[in-house]
Amino acid sequence: MKGQGVKAMKGGVIKDPPNYFRHVHVPTADEIVNKVLKRYPKLKPKGNRPRDKLNLELERLNLVYQIILDKLKFLDEMPKPERLHPFYLELASLTVPYQKYWASVLGLIRLREKMREMWEDYRALLRAAVSLEDAARIRREAVGRALSMVRRSRGALQTIRDFKYAVASLPSIDFTQPRIVVAGMPSSGKSSFVKKVSTADVEVASYPFTTREVHVGHIDIGDFKVQVVDTPGILDRPWDKLNEIERKAAAAIRYLPSVLLFLYDVSPESYGIEDQTEVLDNVLKVVPKDKIVIALNKMDVAEEGKVKLAKEKAEELGLPVFEISVKTGKGLKELLEYLIKRSVESLAEEGAETSG
């Protein structure tokens, strides 16, 4: 080993894996082969002397190996799984198991090393060639072997590409900063809440296996940048109606919240409180109870009976309850202060756990 390829294994936790992966280009095998086949025939001898023709063979050899090794440079940017938060590993693994991703990276790093050695060997052979025919034969063999190695890497490259796209399509979450996750039935006011309390632009991302958009907002408060994350179409369906993959995707939500806000919609048009409580039960399946906070939303048009039922449920569970209206702003300040305080405390506890 010449110390190359080791770079990929170094480095700390990657803060924004989707963004990181979006900016690395992972070529397909065809892309590499086609680039070689396109550039390689364009080389012409500098003159007509036998020496020029011999040089041409050397240049051809070098060009082919340079193109391939250059295309494989991305390997140095591929993070080992330990550098990705389990939230990303678990979700991306629903597309490509992260072990398979990493095995492919390591396999290609070994192949690249082998290729460098081959390049050196063939260069030496070419310099020692006894005739032009001999040189051409060596060059053909060197190029043929290199290209067939690339073709055999098709699967490994595709695996890495699939993993890359799987991570790149996930929402950007900074796990070193507090996260407030918002759950509740459709139309309970989740997106409205995220938009209302966020100071900066709200980013739109996708969450796997739902067609709906996830909104991620931010609240800057001195030392911290609190993230507010919407969860549409994930925990709001009955658990037994989810397929296995959706269930795993829903379970990965457990990594997200420093604190989870569950919204009850208490307006006349809302779903029944019992149906909404089923969604809360789903939340309780994946998120620890001590991270959950309840708010009754749409108090500006509240239906008394619903308020009573929802409050009873929260009290029965021993969870904190707030009464708010995202529309008028009523109760939002108190709730937000509480959520921020709790999320910062919870982050400190996470830190204590991971640093032992």
Ligand X SMILES: Nc1nc2c(ncn2[C@@H]2O[C@H](COP(=O)(O)OP(=O)(O)O)[C@@H](O)[C@H]2O)c(=O)[nH]1
Query: Which residues are near Mg ion by CB under 5 A?
Result: 190-191, 232
At 198, list the tokens: 């966020």
Contacted entry of Mg ion, ligand X, none for residue 22, CB cut-off 5 to 8 Å set by kind: none
Give the C-alpha distances (Å, rounded to integers) separating 112 from 41, 54, 104, 331, 334.
23, 26, 12, 60, 58
Q: Minimum distance from CB of 269 to Mg ion (Å)?
A: 16
Q: Minimum distance from CB of 64 to ligand X (Å)?
A: 55
At 338, list the tokens: 């509480």
Q: Minimum distance from CB of 10 to Mg ion (Å)?
A: 40
Contacted entry of Mg ion, ligand X, none for residue 189, CB cut-off 5 to 8 Å set by kind: ligand X
Contacted entry of ligand X, Mg ion, none for residue 188, CB cut-off 5 to 8 Å set by kind: ligand X
Residue 198 CA to residue 225 CA, distance in Å, equals 11
If the CB atoms of residues 108 and 296 are measured against ligand X, the closer one turns out to be 296
Q: Which uninterrupted H or E stretch holds 312? A: helix 304-317
Contact 159, 104 (CB under 8 A): yes
Strand order in the sheet with 224-230: 203-206, 213-221, 224-230, 179-184, 259-265, 292-297, 321-323
If the CB atoms of residues 171 and 232 are measured against Mg ion, the closer one turns out to be 232
Contacted entry of Mg ion, ligand X, none for residue 276, CB cut-off 5 to 8 Å set by kind: none
Contacted entry of Mg ion, ligand X, none for residue 141, CB cut-off 5 to 8 Å set by kind: none
* Beta-strand runs (E) in 193-335: 203-206, 213-221, 224-230, 259-265, 292-297, 321-323
Q: Minimum distance from CB of 267 to ligand X (Å)?
A: 6
If the CB atoms of residues 159 and 276 are measured against ligand X, the closer one turns out to be 276
At 284, list the tokens: 């309780």
Which residues contribute to the site for ligand X (CB under 6 A)? 184, 186-192, 232, 267, 297-298, 300-301, 325-327
> Which residues fall within 8 angstroms of residue 160, CB to CB, at 6 or more apart?
26, 78, 101, 104, 105, 108
If the CB atoms of residues 108 and 260 are measured against ligand X, the closer one turns out to be 260
Q: Minimum distance from CB of 243 to ligand X (Å)?
A: 22
If the CB atoms of residues 26 and 326 are measured against ligand X, the closer one turns out to be 326
